[in-house]
Amino acid sequence: MERAILDLHFPAGKLPVKGWRCPACGEEDLAAEQVADAQQVARRLGLYGIEGPRRRKLQRSGTSTVVTLDPTLLAEALGGAVAGDEVEVGRQGDAIVIRRAA
């Protein structure tokens, strides 16, 4: 086995990682901790795509359009944020992103 840069493929892209490749047969190998680290990076970069999608209907509130978030999604994505907490809302490509305000 020789050291090589391998591409781990995810639903929304790929991530290069250090690993090993057999020059004879092309078999690739990664250490379990490298895979775990790459999975964390991929999740942070959004390479898994939309995880656990939930359908919601857009609603009106005055002149604004609103969407509701269930408590589980809120806890998973924003670490227990509650109504009244400040968040940042913006566009990233063709997606709307909500994150805790710094």
Task: Summarize pLDDT for 47-99 with one digit per residue, the tens.
Answer: 988 877 888 999 999 999 999 888 888 888 888 788 888 999 999 888 888 88
What pLDDT, on a 0 to 100 scale, did the predictor assign at position 52? 77
**Domain limits at 30?**
2-45
- Mean pLDDT over residues 12-21, rounded? 93
Asked whether the beta carbons of 86 and 102 are under 8 A apart, the reply is: no
Token pair, residue 5, equals 């840069």
> Are residues 65 and 87 located together in one domain of the fold?
yes
For residue 99, give the 3-state DSSP assignment. strand
> Are residues 6 and 41 located together in one domain of the fold?
yes
Kindly state whether residue 51 falls inside one of the protein's structural domains. Answer: no
> Are residues 39 and 67 located together in one domain of the fold?
no
What is the tally of structural domains in the chain? 2
Kindly state whether residue 65 falls inside one of the protein's structural domains. Answer: yes
What pLDDT, on a 0 to 100 scale, did the predictor assign at position 25? 94
Count of helix runs (H) and strand runs (E) in the chain: 2, 7
> Are residues 7 and 41 located together in one domain of the fold?
yes
Kindly state whether residue 66 falls inside one of the protein's structural domains. Answer: yes
> Are residues 32 and 65 located together in one domain of the fold?
no
pTM of the model: 0.56
What pLDDT, on a 0 to 100 scale, did the predictor assign at position 30? 93
What pLDDT, on a 0 to 100 scale, did the predictor assign at position 95? 84
Kindly state whether residue 88 falls inside one of the protein's structural domains. Answer: yes
What pLDDT, on a 0 to 100 scale, did the predictor assign at position 75? 83
> Are residues 41 and 64 located together in one domain of the fold?
no
> Are residues 66 and 38 located together in one domain of the fold?
no
What pLDDT, on a 0 to 100 scale, did the predictor assign at position 5? 94
